[in-house]
Amino acid sequence: MRAERGLAIAGCGGMSNAWLDYAARRENAEIVGLVDIYEEVAKAMAEKRGLDALVFTSLGEALAATEANLVLDVTIPAG
């Protein structure tokens, strides 16, 4: 990780775009992991955004495998 903040984005649906835009504008942040319960959704977001971030279906796995020190939770609240 090169940036001060390694970001793991949990939830790769439409709402994550705003947070990905925000992170892209930050010089001190690097997206190191994308997490979604549907792996293909996270992969599609990485491809769409041209990200070199790792893709996961488990936040725990993402935190263990990356140098993330900040999680942006963009998931739908459980009802």
Position 2 scores a pLDDT of 67
Q: Does domain 5-73 have CATH number 3.40.50.150?
A: no
Q: pLDDT tens, 55-79? A: 999 999 999 999 999 999 999 888 7
pLDDT surpassing 70 at residue 9:
yes
Q: pLDDT tens, 15-62? A: 999 999 999 999 999 999 999 999 999 999 999 999 999 999 999 999
pTM of this structure: 0.92
Position 3 scores a pLDDT of 74
Residues 6 or more apart in contact with residue 20 via CB below 8 angstroms: 9, 31, 45, 49
Closest CA to 65 of 55, 75, 74: 55
User: Rounded to an integer, what is the distance from CA 71 to the centroid of its chain?
Assistant: 8
Q: Is 29 exposed, middle or buried (0-12, 13-18, 19+ CB in 10 A)?
A: middle
